[in-house]
Structure 1
């Protein structure tokens, strides 16, 4: 489909939130917030998994927003263990709707990789109970570390897409399985795949594409 690229700094509670936005060239169906891995270990909005997911989202008609968390790029502040980052993302969405009112009535898709998955899950849970926002009842968690940064109990939709590598060296697969088992949610496990999906990006993109083809076309 193609996209138009933009960089913008949004004001967030006395700090800047540095964002990259990909605008679909065709019909806009919604907004995707795609969140990056741990900022203290080199995570940024330019992470290859984040850009891959964001690109697929924009190809599916979603305006893809990739923010830098606190202390990364031109984003102000310091790492806050997902608490402040979640607050920032909620404020960011309000700013996006203020600046781009044409997006305010469209549903939001949340996605995150590693640490970003924890923030995405917390944001989803917060928005789920906020009648101000329209949500796709779906959530994409890749190399999920939600349980490591769960400062409030999260709500995960029944159709959550949880993708994990068999050989994940950062968040071992067995650790994720132990957390997800009580929730009775399926996991898409990619064999012989590490945390950073080396050599598996095309597989990852195909999985995300298949999921979006069903959920983005569905009514929120």
Structure 2
């Protein structure tokens, strides 16, 4: 599948936020926001989990937005333990509704991997509190929400949680604790580590199934 990408920026609380927009072949039926892992440990918008999820969204007809967090690439500011990053992503969501009105008129998907899962979960809660448009689907991959949580959470019951059986960064038990606390089901990929090496096709298929019905 050929992928048309576009580089852009928007204004956030700490300065410019750099993002990539991956376009579907036709007019987008909606959009997705895919958030990358820890900025201080090599996480960027080009992480393989992020691009795998993005491609699944594009194949589903969604415009996929992959921002760089503070201090990564051309995004300004410094790492802020998910507090500033969550505020930045509120700015990105507001920007998308203005800059991409056709895509934003359809359903949207919020996905985060590792550190990005913590930002995604708190972004969902922040959007709900501000009465801003909520995503139709929330996806938490390699869930590390509690490691960077700074606010109360209320997760939608259809949240899609995906975790590797042998995750060496965020143990499966940690993901299960979060799932249990919020009464969420979890999809466990057998033999998969944190970065799903050799399991990206399976991950993509799970994401595609999670997009069905949007």
TM-score by length of 2: 0.94
Per-residue deviation at 1:82?
Answer: 0.4
Bigger drift between 2-11 and 151-160 goes to 2-11
CA contact (8 A) 1:2 1:59 kept: no
CA distance in 2, matches of 1:42, 1:118: 17
Alpha-carbon distance in structure 2 between the residues aligned to 1:55 and 1:207: 13
Gap regions ≥5 residues in structure 1: none
| Contact 1:107–1:133 (Cα < 8 Å) also in 2 | no
Aligned ranges for residues 95-110 of structure 1 at < 5 Å? 95-110=95-110
- 1:63-82 equivalences in 2 (<5 Å): 63-82=63-82
Matches within 5 A, 1:1-220: 2-136=2-136, 138-214=137-213, 216=214
Distance 1:111 1:39 in 2: 16
Partner of 2:77, secondary structure, is: coil
Shift of 1:85: 0.2
Answer yes or no: is the 8 Å Cα contact 2:30–2:104 preserved in 1. no
Deviations 1:72-117 (A, max 9, x none): 0000010000000000010112122222333443332100000000
How many residues were matched structurally?
Answer: 214
Structure-2 separation of matches of 1:130 and 1:27:
29
Offset from partner CA, 1:183-212 (integer Å, 9 cap, x none): 221110111111010110000001111111
Question: Does the residue aligned with 2:207 lie in a helix, a strand or coil?
Answer: helix
Q: What is the aligned-residue RMSD (CA, Å)?
A: 1.5
> 1:14 and 1:198, CA in 2 relative to 1: closer, same or farther beyond 3 A?
closer
Deviates more, 1:63-72 or 1:155-164: 155-164
How far, CA to CA, are the matches of 1:90 and 1:124 in structure 2? 9
Q: Which string of whole-angstrom CA distances, capped at 9 and with x for unpartnered residues, describes residues 31-74 of structure 1?
A: 10000000000000000000000011011111100000000000
SS in 1 for 2:170: coil
TM-score, normalised to structure 1's length? 0.92
